Amino acid sequence: MPMKSVKHFTGDDILALPKAYRRTLVNSLNGYKSLCLCGTMNVEGTPNLSLFNSVIHVGANPPLMGLLIRPDVVPRHTLTNMEATGAFTLNHVHEGIYHQAHQASARYPGDVSEFEAVGLSPEYSRLRAPYVGEARVKIGLVVQERHRILANQTLFVVGRVEEVFVPGDALRPDGFLDPERAGSLAGAALDGYYQGKRLARLSYAKPDHDIREIDTDADLPDLTFL
Amino acid sequence: MPMKSVKHFTGDDILALPKAYRRTLVNSLNGYKSLCLCGTMNVEGTPNLSLFNSVIHVGANPPLMGLLIRPDVVPRHTLTNMEATGAFTLNHVHEGIYHQAHQASARYPGDVSEFEAVGLSPEYSRLRAPYVGEARVKIGLVVQERHRILANQTLFVVGRVEEVFVPGDALRPDGFLDPERAGSLAGAALDGYYQGKRLARLSYAKPDHDIREIDTDADLPDLTFL
């Protein structure tokens, strides 16, 4: 299978790599990633902010999202705060705030608000967790359950969506939130930031039907009623 | 907090939405997503292919990746096969195969190979799972552990990376696999396909240091030795 210009690594090759190279390579393997700033607060109300690239959809009814937390690495305070308040926010990173978002991944002491340190504004609504005022897509969640990954002691945390703010001009008539219109960014590995450019939306796939592009508003079922 | 042109939904609003709108909206909430075709085979050796947008990094040492599987929805056979063989592959979707990738999400009967149905080529190496011959980034994994999400009975499956194929010209000297150079796509919601355009790579963030862009090869530590 290997062709010219294809690099091949076995599992043993990966284990034998220098640590920095291995970390970068393995963090690259899932391609483009969701980029969200996670807002929490401690019991005294000090806001905390950290950057996550591991947020996934878990279910729509009830609305659930999950993310992986490394208790041994940067967002220590995130986990402590989530456990104390039961709440957290996820805020999409966009072009206007990605330098600040990246800076929020630095290891600040527990009594420092990353909001203040990086120059972003905590904003409050109904949850005991701060949103990022400068973000355009903001999601408030309560902690639903957590699972310990035995292989490396990381935690997969599932949150239930309690509140959503999205830009009206990025929300399509069928509920599709267009990340390109929202200006959201994608991440790669630990330090790559990418804009998206839409190729297409494709129709629902069925075994005996050809799929087609559904780019235009005319193709979308109009479920606007809000 | 709500401004003009901001749409606000509470958790109750979301539960009250029509099912199709809710599914699309909630699937949109994490922005850009990893897009991977997952290859498995059953005990008779029939290859199976399904599309996932929930693949995340779990750890670099040992190299681990995770994905969420909905046993009640499309990729039923994926889970059965993973349990039978203990292996699966993840293959990045690129512009040349995204129509086929989308079609692979249709509900084919268990005895149908999605490879054949959509026109992609199974390719074999050291694992009991097929790669997508047309993919440029291919990862082979063995099942490490699985966690049942109690809130909706989905499964978070963790795999250990046993083999990786990447295009040499997309692999940077420090181990960074550039998804733009690899032609990988990002997904949005359930049917959006996006190309990426790099804004920047940013230097490691520390509390007392300014971050800077590390776009050029000259900025990267050269760990090429393979």
pLDDT tens-digit readout, B165-214? 999 999 999 999 999 999 999 999 999 999 999 999 999 999 988 899 98
Instruction: For residues A8 and A14, give the distance between their C-alpha atoms in angstroms, rounded to a whole number.
Output: 10
Tens of pLDDT along B137-160?
Answer: 999 999 999 999 999 999 999 999
Of B162, B193, B211, the CB nearest to A10: B162
CATH architecture of A31-219: Roll (2.30)
Burial degree of A36 (CB within 10 A; 0-12, 13-18, 19+)? buried
Domain limits of chain B?
Answer: 33-200
Spatial separation of the C-alpha atoms in residues A152 and A130, rounded to whole Å: 29
CA pair distance A110, B64, nearest whole angstrom:
29
Q: Which residue has the tokens 């997969």?
A: A156
Residue A181 contacts B where some CB pair is shorter than 8 Å: no
Count CA atoms closer than 13 A to B108's CA, side-chain side: 23
Task: Report which DSSP code applies to A82.
Answer: H
Pick the CATH number of B33-200 from 1.10.3720.10, 2.30.110.10, 3.90.1310.10, 1.25.40.10: 2.30.110.10
Cα–Cα distance measured from residue B37 to residue A129, given in angstroms and rounded to the nearest whole number:
36
Residues of chain B with Cβ-Cβ distance to A29 below 8 Å are 57, 63, 65, 90, 137, 139, 161, 164, 177
Identify the bridge partners of residue A38 per DSSP, sorted by sequence position: A50, A90
B130 three-class SS: coil
C-beta of residue B196 within 8 angstroms of C-beta of residue B179: yes
Nearest to B184 among A17, A31, A95 (CB): A31
What is the model's pTM?
A: 0.94
Contact B61 A156 (CB under 8 A): no
Give me the residue from B22, B144, B211 closest to A102, CB to CB: B211
The Cα-based distances of A38 to A25, A222, B208 in angstroms read 24, 32, 21
Task: Determine contact, residues B39/B121, Cβ cutoff 8 Å.
Answer: no
Pick from A6, A28, A164: which is nearest to B167 by CB? A6
Among candidates B26, B37, B43, B127, which has minimal Cα distance to B75?
B37
Of A185, A174, A150, the C-alpha closest to A53 is A185
Residues of A (135-174) whose Cβ lies below 8 Å from B: 137, 139, 144-145, 147, 149-152, 154, 156, 158, 160-169, 171, 174
Contact B33, A34 (CB under 8 A): yes
Contact A7 B171 (CB under 8 A): yes
* Tens digit of pLDDT at every position of chain A (226 positions): 444 599 999 999 999 999 999 999 999 999 999 999 999 999 999 999 999 999 999 999 999 999 999 876 655 789 999 999 999 999 999 999 999 999 999 988 878 899 999 999 999 999 999 999 999 999 999 999 999 999 999 999 999 999 999 999 999 999 999 999 999 999 999 999 999 999 999 999 999 888 999 866 666 665 555 4
Q: Is B42 on the interface with A (CB under 8 A)?
A: no
Q: Does any CB of chain B come closer than 8 Å to the CB of residue A198?
A: yes
From A60's Cα to the closest Cα of chain B, the distance in A is 5
From A189, which residue of chain B is nearest by alpha-carbon distance?
Answer: B176
Instruction: Using an 8 Å CB-CB cutoff, list chain B residues near A182.
Output: 31
